[in-house]
Amino acid sequence: MMNIQNSGRWLATVTLISGLAASCSVKDGAPNGYGKRWDQIPDALPKKEARSKYGNPPSYEVFGKRYYVLNSSQGFVQKGEASWYGTKFHGRRASSGETYDMYAMTAAHKTLPLPTYVEVKNLQNGRTAIVKVNDRGPFHDGRIIDLSYAAATKLGVVASGTAPVEIRALSTTRPERTEQTTAAVEDNYIDANGKLYVQIAAFSAEENALKMIGELREKKINSARIHVDTVDGKLLYRVRIGPVPTDHVAEKVLAQLKEINLNNAKIIRYN
């Protein structure tokens, strides 16, 4: 079992630990007698679901490394290695609180909100699959997603154990933003119905955004989150506080940030 330290106000430590354990190993087992061919396995059907009560702490720590859960999956794209897990964890609780079913089209990811639906493309054979991310992991360097046995079968990953993939988050509420729209956001996207945020910084590299989150935690600023957008075809990681309820509150937050020399912070409206 992995050791994990979560924020004290999050009461789901046991649930999250159980799910984390379920995403570690590619040296797992395949079930006997699974008869479906890869092209007979249906995709997960994306649908609007409430965020998991237990699977979305602000951050968590595994093997001495801290991971920060994204506030939104909108525009999320990532490339890396996929692995899979099967019989060893079948029937155990996943990080979302659901039961892991190796025959369902599900997956584990370190930072995407639970649940998130993603399209996974195997870059070696071109196969694609839609899966529901409802667990945490994998915690091996270079691996970005742990697939259920069924999903790994559909994508042709079972025999090799790992494969290079690209994952794209799918929207279940409204169409994904276009590059033109997300580019406009960088220049203070104005929408009367938009939510109000205080943006502290924006980075092209996720590791820099994570470093900023860590520095903010050290300054006792625990409400900042990372939002991911696509601008000109590239990921942009925005470190923000919010949404906040009123302009007055936003101004107060902005003033407090500037008192600690975070002078690039600004107020924005964003859907």
Most distant CA pair in the chain, distance: 64
Round to whole Å and give the CA distance between 69 and 110: 8
Q: Look at residue 94 in the predicted model and tell me its pLDDT.
A: 92
Q: Look at residue 3 in the predicted model and tell me its pLDDT.
A: 36
Kindly report, residue by residue over 209-255, the tens digit of the pLDDT.
888 888 888 888 888 888 887 777 788 888 988 887 777 778 888 88
Q: Is residue 173 very low, low, confident or very high in pLDDT (cuts 50, 70, 90)?
A: low
Least confidently predicted of 12-16, 106-110, 241-245? 12-16
Which amino acid is located at 7 in the chain?
Answer: S
- Domain spanning 179-270: CATH superfamily: Sporulation related repeat (3.30.70.1070)
Nearest to 69, CA basis, from 200, 206, 233: 206
Task: Write down the CATH number for the domain with range 4-169.
Answer: 2.40.40.10
Q: Is residue 185 very low, low, confident or very high in pLDDT (cuts 50, 70, 90)?
A: very low
Length of the chain, in residues? 271
Q: Count Cα atoms within 13 angstroms, Cβ side, for 78.
A: 21
Domain boundaries, the chain: 4-169, 179-270
- What is the residue whose two structure tokens read 């924005």? 268
Least confidently predicted of 8-17, 97-106, 132-141, 154-163? 8-17
Instruction: Say if residue 64 is exposed, middle or buried (CB neighbours under 10 Å; 0-12, 13-18, 19+).
Output: exposed
Residue 139 structure tokens: 């915690």
Q: Which helix or strand (DSSP H or E) is residue 15 part of? A: helix 13-21
